[in-house]
Amino acid sequence: MERVPILKIGDILLVSIQVDMSDQTALQLQEDLAERIVSTGSHGVIIDITALDIVDSFVGRMLSTIASISKVLDAETVVVGMRPAVAITLVELGLSLNGIRTALNVERGMELIAAARPDESPDDDEFHDETDEPETTDSA
Amino acid sequence: MTTGIDLSQPQAQAIRSDEDVVRVRQLVRTVAVAAKLSLVDQTKVVTAASELARNTLVYGGGGSVEVTTMDNGRRRGVRIVFADSGPGIADLDLALTDGYTTGGGLGLGLSGARRLVDEFDIDTGAGRGTRITVTKWAR
Amino acid sequence: MALNAEESGRLAALLSEHVDQVTQRWTEAVAVQLRGRLSQAELRRQLQELHRAILTTAENGIVDVDAEHAAELRAVLGELSRGRARQGFSATETAISVYALKEVLLELLEARGGESVLRDFVAFSGLIDQMGLFTFESFVRTREGLIADQAEQLLELSTPVVKLWDGVVAVPLVGTLDSARAQVVMERLLQTLVDTGSPYAIIDITGVPAVDTQVAQHVLKTVVAARLMGAECIISGIRPQIAQTIVALGIEFGDIATKASLADALRHVLRLSGVETSRRSRRGA
């Protein structure tokens, strides 16, 4: 079975799906990604689907699940590069990908992640990764 | 990977595994390109085929698919027939409702696939398998 | 409706014995119907060609429009119909060019006499009807082609997607939005978003005379598809009566931004993307 590679770029994990995934490959990616988010402590995940010529309900559900899992693990997920034909088909299919943030390309996706965490730089987040409020950290 | 196949003949593909669903997608795309479907229509019919192939595998316990290039004199198109000898669908109206699922999916496979094609015909009943015929015409 | 071998032979004989008479009378009969909109010489040339095609077919076998060896006959008939269709002749005026041959044949048969006159005329009539129908179908196909081409050109013309600002594209919709056109607009707009990397699109419906449920659905689908791709759409130019229709139809625009004018929409987008703030600070400095 093929495995989709996950790249770490700075504070962000980049997944560029280049193959026509079987359902097993999709589920594997979901698992791999959850592990990598924890092991790298990344706060952002970009899933680049520029190369995908279709997204069916299974892949759609995988994207939603990844977004939910990463949210629980304190990481922001952005799906980037969806082709127009794919978007039109998804609308017709009735899949709205609720809860998923999207951007036109990787660059915009990175901006989106940076904007979502304006107060954190990659260097200091390990000092208060339990909570966003410094006061609580101080009193603890 | 798909060069050298004679597209004037119906193309058959077994659906026994996950990888076969991928093969069905690739086969349908090849035929759709040959039938000169627009990019959006190609995407729609391949997506519909992906949903239905997965249904054949998950609910029908596997089966087969046949893809044919159509030509009604004025327009070309793609016809895909999915057949399985699984348990069949007892309540078709319910199965075609958005969001209804017995398999833990999103419940968009059957109802969504129907919206993506021009013609949708389903022949099923409890205990006698399922045969779904879909057609997408070039605009 | 095909002729049998004997009838075919008699038709060929009749046509080849009286070449000049046939084309002359044929041309006259058709010219009356076309009322001088096609020159006699041009008409005569066409009919001579058709005459020759019938004879060639007869030489190679029986005369039958559907036969394999009648390809040339079909080509000539097709060419004749296409020409007529492009020049704006009606279907009747096109078919008459073929049907007029009946009168000519009847005259020739009567002159020849003999007991097979009636039977031959019925058989020849059948063949000419068949040729007429073929002409009619070619005519319709040509016309349909013309209409389809024009519709496509109209689509091309009527759906421009323009870049308004860095990262902002707009599509001003003018005229009735039917399903086919809505689809083209949608695809083109979304493709432009990708090509220009624009995260904002303005759909201006000032020029759309009426909005029904279907049109509204198309616009809404475009907005949802754009969102899936990571872009935001703003709808502008909703006139009062259209706003009333939208509410009366119970169409939910949900959280989609709507603005009265294209200018308002652009201002809104620039504020969202932070462009105006920087312009203001520049002006203040």
- Residue B73 pLDDT greater than 80, yes or no: no
C171 in reach of chain A (CB within 8 A):
no
Residue B10, CA distances (Å) to B29, B129, C116, C153, C237 in order? 14, 22, 52, 36, 51
What does the pLDDT read at residue B104?
63
The predicted-structure confidence for C197-221, as pLDDT tens digits, reads as follows 999 999 998 888 887 777 788 888 8
pLDDT (mean) for B85-95: 87
> Does A118 have pLDDT greater than 80?
no
pLDDT surpasses 50 at A140: no
Indicate yes or no: CB of A87 within 8 angstroms of CB of C191: no
- pLDDT: is B109 or A118 the higher one? B109
Alpha-carbon distance B11 to B34, whole Å?
13
Q: Which segment of B22-26, C137-141, C197-201 scores lowest on mean pLDDT?
A: C137-141
Q: Count B/C contacts: CB-CB distance under 8 Å.
A: 3
Which three-class secondary structure string do you get for chain B?
A: CCCCCCCCCCEEEEECCHHHHHHHHHHHHHHHHHCCCCHHHHHHHHHHHHHHHHHHHHCCCCEEEEEEEEECCCCEEEEEEEEECCCCCCCHHHHCCCCCCCCCCCCCHHHHHHHHCCEEEEEECCCCCEEEEEEEECC
What is chain C's mean pLDDT, rounded?
84
Q: Rounded to whole angstroms, how far apart are CA atoms C33 and C92?
A: 9
**Does the distance separating the beta carbons of B40 and A88 come in below 8 Å?**
yes
The CA distance from B19 to the nearest CA of chain A, in Å, is 6
| Size of the A and C interface in Cβ pairs below 8 Å | 56
Q: What pLDDT was estimated at residue B82?
A: 96
Judge: A104–C228 Cβ closer than 8 Å, yes or no: no
Instruction: Scan for tokens 């309540």, then name that residue.
Output: B91
Q: Which of C197, C224, C228 sits opposite A105 (nearest CB)?
A: C197
Which position has the higher pLDDT, C165 or C215?
C165
**CA nearest to B44 within chain A:** A89
Strand-strand pairing, B63-71 and B11-15: antiparallel
Tell me the average pLDDT of chain A.
85
**Mean pLDDT rounded to a whole number for chain B:** 89
∠ CA C186-C188-C189, nearest 5°, is: 65
Residue B76 carries which side chain, given as an amino acid letter? R
Confidence bin at A63 (pLDDT 50/70/90): very high
Comma-separated ranges of CATH 3.30.750.24 domains in chain C: 162-284
Going edge to edge, which strands form the sheet with A44-48?
A6-9, A12-16, A44-48, A76-80, A101-103
Fold of C5-151: Globin-like (1.10.490)
Q: A22: closest CA among B106, B57, B19, B104?
A: B19
Quick check: C166 contacting A, CB < 8 Å?
no
C22 has a pLDDT exceeding 60 = yes
C162-284 CATH pick, 3.30.750.24, 3.20.20.60, 2.60.40.10, 3.90.1150.200 = 3.30.750.24
pLDDT in tens, C252-277: 777 888 998 999 999 999 998 876 44
User: What are the pLDDT digits (tens) for C60-111?
Assistant: 777 778 878 888 888 999 998 988 888 888 888 888 888 988 888 888 888 8
Q: Give how far C199 is from chain B: nearest CA, Å.
A: 21
At residue C140, does pLDDT exceed 70?
Answer: yes
List, for residues A46-59, the tens digit of each pLDDT value. Answer: 999 999 999 999 99
Q: How does pLDDT run across A74-107, given as a tens digit for each residue?
A: 999 999 999 999 999 999 998 878 789 999 999 9
Q: Please report which confidence band the pLDDT of residue A129 belongs to, taking 50, 70 and 90 as the band edges.
A: very low
Quote the pLDDT of residue A43: 92
The minimal CB distance from B47 to the residues A20, A23, A54 is found for A54
Q: Is residue A134's pLDDT more than 60?
A: no
- Give me the domains of chain A, ranges plus CATH numbers: 6-139 (3.30.750.24)
Contact C187/B at CB under 8 A: yes
Range(s) of chain C covered by CATH 1.10.490.130: 5-151
d(CA B58, CA B61): 6
Determine the CATH number of domain B11-137.
3.30.565.10
Inform me whether the pLDDT recorded for C284 exceeds 50: no
Residue of A20, A68, A88, A93 to mutate for B, most B C-beta atoms under 10 A? A93
